[in-house]
Amino acid sequence: MEGSLLEPTLYTVKGILILDNDGQRILARYYAKNIFPTPKEQKAFEKNLFNKTHRANAEIIMLDGLTCVYRSNVDLFFYVMGSSQENELILMSVLNCLYDTVSQILRKNVERRGVLDYLDIIMLAIDEICDGGIILDADPSSVVSRVALRGEDIPLSEQTVAQVFQSAKEQLKWSLLK
């Protein structure tokens, strides 16, 4: 049994989290079903993780048998979790890709409101970075190119009401400036 724990596996990421500066979940993806199987256990882990990391200047912590790498910015905390035997550099590359991708999507304005406004695209980006715990991509520019849709490229029937209003507002603005 002990030898099977050390066998190489593609399932390197156990979870990805984005928490706000109060420790509340904005986005969470847990890939290992045996780790924190219930929402109650997930919330307890997230609270414990936030309490241990929100004042620390480190980038890595071992908690509940997981290696967690993290990064904070303004009012957000980004976390990538792996097993206790996982290579921290691999987890860090996923974390950096996640942060840089979010930064590019939000045009360098990485804060809670922006993440909530673009939550659908950020969720898609996370799916492009990691699928079921398997790392698919660690290059932020390629991830952004696959998930970023410009409003004018989307057919009118598939746009949300907010996108239609934004497009109309921009057209009106340009017609008034002429």
Q: What is the largest CA-CA distance in the chain?
A: 73
Residue 32 backbone class (left: φ over 0; alpha: ψ -120 to 50; beta: rest)? beta
User: Quick one: three-class SS letters along 107-161?
Assistant: CCCCCHHHHHHCHHHHHHHHHHHEECCEECCCCHHHHHHHHCCCHHHCCHHHCCH
Q: Which domains does the chain have, with CATH numbers?
A: 8-147 (3.30.450.60)
Structural contact between residues 28 and 22, judged by C-beta atoms closer than 8 angstroms = no
| First-residue to last-residue Cα distance in the chain | 73
- Quote the pTM value: 0.77
Tens digit of pLDDT at every position of the chain (178 positions):
444 556 778 888 999 999 998 889 999 999 988 888 889 999 999 999 999 988 877 789 998 889 999 998 888 999 999 988 888 999 999 999 999 999 888 888 888 888 888 888 899 999 999 998 899 988 998 888 888 765 445 555 555 666 677 777 777 777 777 6
